[in-house]
Amino acid sequence: MTQTQEQGQHHPISLYLKIWGLLFLLSTLSYLVDYYQFAGYLRWSLIIVFMLLKAGLIVAIFMHMAWERLAMVYAILLPPLCLLVLIGLMASEAGYIFDNRLLFFSQG
């Protein structure tokens, strides 16, 4: 409790260096996904896993979200979930448009 009641965040520098190292490792791994030309679902799932791990480390440790009060955390992290609806809508619509294009372009 004392930690959050003081003005500002107090953590050892080594914490940031460790996270820095982890981010380097994860970036290298995601670059290797491309370097070794993984394809299909393996490629996509690896890319997403490394991306989410990196994003989580940055938000939780570098942006100090792990030490904020829950009211703040939910206010910032929950609204972007609406975007999943947008992505879902756009993806289904894009599939429909693609099918139509194939249909009409093939008629020449």
Partner 1 sequence: MAAHSATPAGTDSPTATAPADGWSGVTQDWSSDQDAFKQVSSGKTMMWIFLLSDTFVFTCFLTAYMAVRMTATEPWPNTSEVFALTIAGQHMPLILIAIMTFVLISSSGTMAMAVNYGYRRERRKTAVLILTTALCGAAFVGMQVFEWGKLIEDGVRPWGNPMGAAQFGASFFMITGFHGLHVSIGVIYLCVIAWKVLRGNYERSGNYQNVEIAGLYWHFVDLVWVFIFAFFYLW
Interface size with partner 1, residues (CB under 8 A)? 59
The token pair at 62 is: 């570098």
Closest contact distance (angstroms) between CB of 108 and partner 1 is 13
For 10, how many CA atoms within 13 A lie in the half-sphere containing its CB? Answer: 7
Map residues 33-72 to x or -, x wherever contact with partner 1 holds by CB under 8 A: xxx-x-----xx--xx-xx--xx--xx-xxxx---xxxxx
**Tokens linked to 60:** 């939780």
User: Are 29 and 50 spatial neighbours (Cβ–Cβ below 8 Å)?
Assistant: yes
Residue type, position 13, single letter: I
Output Rg (C-alpha) for the chain, integer angstroms.
21
Q: Which residues contact partner 1 by CB under 8 A?
A: 1, 4-5, 7-11, 13, 16-17, 19-20, 23-24, 27, 30-31, 33-35, 37, 43-44, 47-48, 50-51, 54-55, 58-59, 61-64, 68-72, 74-76, 79-80, 83, 86-87, 90-91, 93-95, 97-98, 101-102, 105
